[in-house]
Chains A and B, each alone.
Chain A
């Protein structure tokens, strides 16, 4: 019973392509997030959604567009992929908006060639 799942786990693609990463949580949480972990392992928030509403957009390029069809899902679509987009992308969820612990998915390693 995976709490937060992401697909795919690995994604290799060429520059200029468009790709999507899907995230689902079965914890009944109201808030979901996308984080990016770069090659130096630094983790940074990209987006957060609460009850399907975008709350945080941390100056991420417009090529990144999150979508939340319902509270259990938060997908990330990336247009015109660039070399610098290569990273591990983590989806996470928390019970509600506020200072609650966040539970992370297994991550998607994106490699842009």
Chain B
């Protein structure tokens, strides 16, 4: 069974600054993948970034990057140069090659101060 924990319910960041959202996970699988999804007020779930567990290199997607610490089972999301449009709920999720379903954390609400 997989579990995903996001312990911070809310965070706030000043526009143009950097913020890091935390996530820890637990899994007994060796073949697993990690994701961050963004859910703005429109409620659309948007894939932000993906990390394969077998890759040592941290994934990067424009202003978004992850810090993947496999031994610590930690998967944090860093947002650089925060923009007002980054304000949303962010979900960390894990999936495995075996069962294809995503297990989500409880999410964190990010607000961006102008």
A103 within 8 A of B: yes
Contacts of B50 in A (CB 8 A): 101
Which among B45, B89, B97, B100 is the interface contact of A104 at CB below 8 angstroms? B45
Quick check: B43 and A56 within 8 Å, CB to CB? no
A interface, over-half SS: strand
Interface centre among B33, B45, B89, B107 (most CB of A within 10 A): B45
Encode B76-112 as 1/0 by CB contact (under 8 A) with A. Answer: 0000000000000101000111011111101100000
Known: A48-B100, A99-B100. A40 touches B106 (CB 8 A): yes
A66 within 8 A of B: no
Interface membership of chain A positions 91-113, coded 1 if the CB is closer than 8 angstroms to chain B and 0 otherwise: 01010011111111011010000
How many A-B pairs fall under 8 Å by CB?
Answer: 61
B28: min CB distance to chain A, Å: 15
Assuming the A-B contacts A55-B100, A104-B44, are A43 and B31 also in contact, with contact meaning beta carbons closer than 8 angstroms in the complex? no
Cα A100 to Cα B47 in complex, Å, equals 11
CA distance A9 to B49 in the complex (A): 26
Known: A88-B43, A107-B43. A41 touches B89 (CB 8 A): yes
Can you list 27 pairs linking A and B with CB atoms under 8 Å apart?
Answer: A35-B102, A40-B106, A41-B39, A41-B89, A42-B106, A43-B91, A43-B104, A45-B101, A48-B101, A50-B100, A55-B100, A56-B99, A90-B45, A92-B45, A98-B97, A98-B100, A99-B32, A99-B33, A99-B95, A100-B100, A102-B95, A104-B44, A106-B42, A107-B43, A107-B44, A107-B45, A109-B43
